[in-house]
Amino acid sequence: MNDPSAPIGVLDSGIGGFSVVARLKERLPHEDIIYFGDDSHCPYGSKTKEEVCTMTQQIVDFLVRKNVKAIVIACNTISTQALNLDGHNVPILEIIGPVCRSFSIATPRCVGIIGTPLTIKTKVYEKKLIEENPYLTAMGVPSPNLANLIEHGNFESKEIDRELLSVMKPILDKNIKHVILGCTHYPLVAKKFRDIFPDITFYDPAVFQADELTKLLTSYHIANLQESEGSFSLYTSGSSDCAIEAMERLKLRYPDSITENVLLKK
């Protein structure tokens, strides 16, 4: 854990966490990254809390066995459900706190959050935003299908357009102008959101999470000092079929290695 040359572990229910890796690569280009996507179990957003906690702990254990120095929970759904993960002394950084803290001195009066049904049901975003800034009101809207459509690579489908319009309707009805993309899969279609709703400011929580990870590495004195670009290793419990297209959309370079069908120990 104290070794600056150790990699950072990033985990997500599927390909959505690539949107987080893209932001990490911008801020921390010299860090080695080991990514685990649980594509064979995605979507997590329609699972039970117990299922999400069990699966996530197995991924954390896997990353710890890879000797990571910090673990980034990219997935919003996991960040709302698995609050008692055992990191075996490796620091774990979830995705929701950092973006909410960025609103502590913000001016918008009302913030919308869109995410999976499990994320929105917990109201974690609303509670954290109001804790940070009691002058804010917040409204969460769930999308039952959007993450899954994106996970399967239907980036340009009409179904995605319909889903965007449907999840944004309650937000437009309330004239809310600031919206958090509360699911890692959504930044993969961020351009669509911005094109269809040009008057709305969309926030990608990964930007703020990357800033907090940078601070964490500095404060623990574990930032990687290598001069070359960090490596990127991809592990998935399923297949990487949709991964390459997702990376192209995010302008993320291909992984140095891809390991598919990884079985996690019980």
The backbone torsions φ and ψ at residue 165, rounded to the nearest 5 degrees and listed phi first, read -65, -40
Decide: is 69 part of the binding site for ligand DGL (CB under 6 A): no
The DSSP symbol for 115 reads E
Q: How far is the CB of 151 from ligand DGL (least distance, A)?
A: 7
Nearer to ligand DGL, 6 or 9 (CB): 9
Report 83-142 residues binding ligand DGL (CB under 6 A).
Answer: 115-116, 119
Question: Can you tell me the distance from the alpha carbon of 187 to that of 179, in angstroms, rounded to the nearest whole number?
Answer: 12
Query: Please, how many CA atoms are within 13 Å of residue 185, restricted to the half-sphere of its CB?
Result: 30
Report 30-49 residues binding ligand DGL (CB under 6 A).
Answer: 42-45
* Residue 101 CB partners (closer than 8 Å, separation 6+): 132, 208
Decide: is 75 part of the binding site for ligand DGL (CB under 6 A): yes
Decide: is 246 part of the binding site for ligand DGL (CB under 6 A): no
User: Three-state DSSP class for 34?
Assistant: strand
Among 147, 210, 213, 222, binds ligand DGL (CB under 6 A): 147
Q: How far is the CB of 42 from ligand DGL (least distance, A)?
A: 5
Query: Is 110 a residue of the active site?
Result: no
Question: Can you tell me the distance from the alpha carbon of 211 to that of 189, in angstroms, rounded to the nearest whole number?
Answer: 22
Of 42, 53, 100, 183, the catalytic one is 183
Query: Is 183 a residue of the active site?
Result: yes
Decide: is 52 part of the binding site for ligand DGL (CB under 6 A): no
Question: Can you tell me the distance from the alpha carbon of 60 to that of 86, in angstroms, rounded to the nearest whole number?
Answer: 8
Decide: is 212 part of the binding site for ligand DGL (CB under 6 A): no
Angle at the Cα of 188 from the Cα atoms of 78 and 60, rounded to 5 degrees: 25
Decide: is 19 part of the binding site for ligand DGL (CB under 6 A): no
User: What is the token pair recorded at 169?
Assistant: 């309707």
Of 42, 75, 100, 242, the catalytic one is 75
The DSSP symbol for 262 reads P
User: What is the token pair recorded at 65?
Assistant: 């066995």
Nearer to ligand DGL, 52 or 217 (CB): 52
Give the binding site for ligand DGL (CB under 6 A).
Answer: 12-14, 16, 42-45, 75-77, 115-116, 119, 147, 183-185
Active site residues: 75, 183
